[in-house]
């Protein structure tokens, strides 16, 4: 394990098919003005909205709704939410939805009482949020981002074609999150498998860094085996509670800062994927899937031993009679087979990317330093173009 670190995660989790019942007790800790944030209306179709509204009304809360949060929340939408929160003296934010809704809600929490140009102050200049924040909680209906137990958020500036993240302080961690696997049953397959790969990519970004022998890597290998096993079941039977509950639990622990401890981390696949979303609006998990195989092929020569370990411990590649490089490459072959099996997008052309925007996409984001090789913008463009041939 590398370095010295502190692990502190203040989010309380309620897990299981009766977990929403705990919202009653939690609401007693907050004031009367509740901002209910959700997405495009699916929670009204599956009945979750009615359940939440009843609980809020039974607890005598004043409800201020902010709906229509999109899969890649925009700065324009965020400014609408900030206005609602500030003008109505919101005491507590309740996010009901997936990672985008949770991300957006954290930004409303942090920036409702901020002044000036939010994008320039926080996303460009990386100022620390020093103003009052609004406490929030999450009711999860889609898994993937891990946003229910961390303080990160991602916002898209449509005018600048930029999708950037911000890491908040301890005050913006959700005070609690409610995780009922049954709430994910009605999710369309496309969204489900996109979320599954988002989980896997979070693990990869933390796993494929460093060369030391550390506990975090062993934990992540187990998490990957679990998600691979459960996702194959869930694709065939989306209402398999055991599979969906394992996926939900893995998603939370993949990005609540736990497995990152004692490691450096990469995050270049996310940067490359964010650029696609900023230009095309494509679903986040699918952008990660479409660039992962080309990216890891480019990383493999610089970390053959790590990719060999991954191939054997995650994909059960038989090492007998093979060179280390052959074992490592076979792991990526097995990974690609799995990705195609569950229905992930493997070619960025299927996400709306055209040749004329490839070089632009490669030029709009910060290049991260945590991977096995620091890429040039030309190499990033090569990754995009290789994806277009898969």
Per-residue pLDDT of 144-160, as tens digits, reads 999 999 999 999 999 99
pLDDT of residue 368 exceeding 90, the answer is no
pLDDT of residue 328 exceeding 80, the answer is yes
The segment(s) of the chain belonging to CATH 3.40.50.1970 are 12-183
Percent of the chain whose predicted confidence (pLDDT) is above 90: 92
pLDDT of residue 93 exceeding 70, the answer is yes
pLDDT computed for residue 197 by the predictor: 98
Neighbours of 355 (CB within 10 A): 10
CA distance 148 to 264: 23
Kindly indicate whether the domain formed by 188-387 is annotated with CATH number 1.20.1090.10: yes
CA distance 164 to 166: 7
The DSSP code for 74 is: B
Percent of the chain whose predicted confidence (pLDDT) is above 70: 99
CA distance 129 to 303: 38
- pLDDT-derived band at 2 (thresholds 50, 70, 90) equals confident
pLDDT computed for residue 364 by the predictor: 67
pLDDT of residue 266 exceeding 80, the answer is yes
Region of poorest pLDDT, from 27-41, 86-100, 300-314, 364-378: 364-378
- pLDDT-derived band at 239 (thresholds 50, 70, 90) equals very high
pLDDT computed for residue 365 by the predictor: 65
- pLDDT-derived band at 210 (thresholds 50, 70, 90) equals confident
The segment(s) of the chain belonging to CATH 1.20.1090.10 are 188-387
Q: Look at the block and give the residue holding tokens 């809704």.
A: 101
135: left (phi over 0), alpha (psi -120 to 50) or beta: beta
Higher pLDDT among residues 366 and 287, named by residue = 287
CA distance 358 to 175: 40
Give me 80's structure tokens.
């609408």
- pLDDT-derived band at 363 (thresholds 50, 70, 90) equals confident
Average pLDDT of the segment spanning 253-265 = 93
- What is the chain's mean pLDDT, rounded? 95
Give me 79's structure tokens.
């400014």
Q: What is the pTM of this model?
A: 0.95
Average pLDDT of the segment spanning 231-249 = 98
- pLDDT-derived band at 89 (thresholds 50, 70, 90) equals very high
pLDDT computed for residue 174 by the predictor: 97
**How would you class 343 by CB atoms within 10 Å of its CB: exposed for 0-12, middle for 13-18, buried for 19 or more?**
middle
Average pLDDT of the segment spanning 127-146 = 96
Average pLDDT of the segment spanning 172-199 = 97
CA neighbor of 93 nearest in space, from 20, 51, 34, 149: 34
CA neighbor of 245 nearest in space, from 184, 200, 187: 184
Residue 1's contacts (CB-CB under 8 Å, 6 or more residues apart) are 212, 214, 215, 216, 261, 262
What class is the 12-183 domain? alpha beta
**Local structure of 191: helix, strand or coil:** helix
pLDDT computed for residue 40 by the predictor: 84
pLDDT computed for residue 41 by the predictor: 81
pLDDT computed for residue 367 by the predictor: 83
């Amino acid at each position: 394990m590398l370095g010295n670190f502190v692990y502190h995660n203040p989010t309380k989790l309620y897990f299981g098919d009766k977990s929403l019942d705990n919202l009653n007790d939690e609401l007693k800790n907050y004031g009367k003005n509740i901002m209910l944030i959700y997405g495009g209306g699916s929670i009204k179709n599956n009945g979750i909205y009615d359940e939440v509204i009843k609980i809020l009304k039974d607890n005598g809360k004043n409800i201020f709704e902010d709906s229509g949060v999109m899969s890649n929340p925009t700065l324009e939408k965020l400014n609408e939410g900030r206005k609602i929160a500030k003008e109505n003296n919101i005491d507590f934010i309740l996010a009901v939805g997936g990672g985008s809704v949770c991300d957006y809600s954290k930004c409303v929490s942090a920036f409702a009482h901020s002044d000036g140009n939010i994008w320039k102050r926080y996303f460009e200049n990386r100022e620390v949020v020093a103003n009052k924040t609004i406490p929030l909680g999450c009711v999860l209906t889609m898994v993937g981002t891990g946003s229910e137990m961390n303080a990160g958020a991602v916002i898209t500036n449509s005018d600048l074609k930029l999708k950037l993240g911000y890491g908040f302080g301890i005050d913006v961690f959700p005070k609690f999150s409610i995780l009922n696997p049954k709430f994910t049953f009605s999710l369309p397959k496309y969204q489900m498998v996109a979320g599954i790969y988002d989980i896997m990519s979070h693990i990869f970004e933390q796993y494929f860094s460093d060369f030391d022998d550390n506990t975090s890597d062993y934990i992540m290998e187990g998490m990957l085996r679990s998600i691979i096993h459960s996702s194959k079941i869930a694709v065939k039977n989306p209402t398999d509670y055991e599979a969906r509950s394992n996926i939900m639990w893995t998603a939370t622990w993949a990005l609540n800062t736990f497995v990152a401890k004692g490691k450096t981390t990469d995050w270049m696949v996310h940067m490359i994927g964010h650029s696609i979303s900023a230009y095309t609006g494509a679903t986040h998990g699918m952008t990660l899937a479409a660039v992962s195989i080309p990216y890891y092929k480019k990383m493999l020569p610089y970390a053959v031993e790590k990719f060999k370990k991954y191939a054997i411990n995650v994909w059960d590649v038989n090492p007998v009679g093979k060179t280390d490089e052959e074992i490592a490459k076979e792991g990526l072959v097995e990974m690609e087979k799995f990705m195609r099996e569950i229905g992930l997008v493997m070619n960025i052309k299927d996400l709306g990317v055209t040749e004329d925007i490839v070089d632009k996409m490669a030029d709009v984001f910060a290049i991260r330093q945590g991977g096995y090789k620091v890429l040039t913008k030309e190499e990033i463009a090569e990754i995009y173009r290789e994806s277009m041939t898969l």
